[in-house]
Structure formats: C-alpha cells, structure tokens
C-alpha cells in the first residue's frame, strides 16, 4: 500500500471496508464531511480554512424576498433644509432612493462572495422621524439564493447618499441600525427579526 493511499474504514458487522469513504471523512475531516452544512459552520470557508464562493447549483429555485432597514440621524437645520427642498445639490431623498435601487443591482460587484442575481423588484422608502429618516428596502427575486445582501446594500448606499448631499450643512450625521427585518424563501424558510 502506497504512502498516499487513504485507509478505508470497515463497515459495521462486516470485515470488508466501506467503499469510497475514507477514515477522515467518517471522522468529519474529509471532503465528503465538508460538503454537508453543519449548524454554526461558516459556509464561505472550506475545510482548510480558505475563503470560497458557495455553490448554489443544487438549491431549488424559489421566490425570495428580503426587507432591510436603517436610519440616518441629523441636525435640526439639515432636516429643515431637506423638508423645505432647499438643499443646494438637489433632492436628497429622491437621489437616495435611486442610489439604493442602483446599489442593490450592483451588490455582487461590491461584496466579493455574493452571487450575481436577476432582481425582479427593488423598492426603497424613506420616512421622516424626529431625528432624521428611516430607510427601508424591499428586494425580490426568483432564484437559488437569498437577497438579504441586496436589501442591506440598498439601505446603506441610500443613507450614504443622503450624507453626501447634506454634509455641507451637517458633518455629524450618524448612520446606523442597518439590519435585516425579513427574509423569506429557500430551504431555511422565513426569518423575521425578533423571532426564531
């Protein structure tokens, strides 16, 4: 037997080894073991600790949706100028909506291991609050992987766009609380923030 040959494990109740299954795989260290996703294991890291893009080819094609939210807080003067339509660069809210939609479509170019997706809907809404604005994105597709990253990217870029357009008035604006509120579709089912 050569040095590189893998020892085979005997099957239960028989003297013969199980064909095609190495001792390493049976102990959870070989290639066969790494193919199955385990709870708490990062799917973007292989058995040797290297970064990888997840193969979604065997996943079912389903309707998928994600909702993300975030916020931007600003000074009273910044809020006044936006609501009066007096920002010199133009309308920050409409520009932010458009930027969020465009960003969702470019997520795979921004986040290294995201899959390029054909999105069927991207909606970005901004709602005035006492301290600034709440930003919500809703993204849909029919495919083999979810759209959480697209929804999060839309919110983040919409908030950054507002900052860029209003920073001459308020450089102390705070962007925060960006999170997934809802994810549906796929093998893992539906996730709602605050529930399990």
Closest by alpha carbon to 150, among 94, 106, 183? Answer: 106
Cα-based distances in Å from 125 to 82, 83, 135? 15, 15, 6
CA distance 114 to 100: 17
Active site residue 58: no
CA distance 72 to 176: 6
Catalytic residue among 123, 164, 170, 177: 164
Closest by alpha carbon to 163, among 175, 147, 152, 154? Answer: 175
Which residues lie below 8 Å from residue 24, measured CB to CB, with a gap of 6+? Answer: 6, 30, 33
Please give the positions annotated as active site: 164
């Amino acid at each position: 037997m050569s040095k590189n040959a893998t020892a085979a494990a005997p099957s239960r109740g028989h003297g013969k080894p199980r064909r095609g299954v190495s001792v390493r795989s049976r102990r959870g260290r070989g290639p066969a073991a790494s193919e199955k996703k385990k709870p708490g294991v990062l799917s973007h890291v292989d058995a040797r600790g290297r970064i990888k893009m997840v193969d979604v080819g065997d996943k079912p094609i389903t309707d998928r949706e994600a909702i993300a939210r975030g916020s931007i807080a600003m000074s009273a003067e910044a809020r006044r100028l936006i609501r009066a339509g007096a920002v010199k660069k133009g309308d920050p809210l409409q520009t932010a909506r458009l930027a969020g939609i465009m960003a969702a479509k470019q997520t795979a170019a921004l986040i290294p291991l995201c899959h390029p997706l054909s999105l069927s809907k991207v909606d970005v809404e901004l709602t005035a609050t006492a301290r600034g604005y709440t930003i919500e994105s809703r993204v849909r597709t029919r495919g083999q992987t979810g759209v959480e990253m697209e929804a999060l990217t839309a919110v983040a870029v919409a908030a950054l766009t507002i900052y860029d357009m209003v920073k001459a008035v308020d450089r102390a604006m705070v962007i925060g609380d960006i999170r997934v509120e809802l994810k549906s579709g796929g093998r893992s089912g539906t996730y709602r923030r605050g529930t399990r």
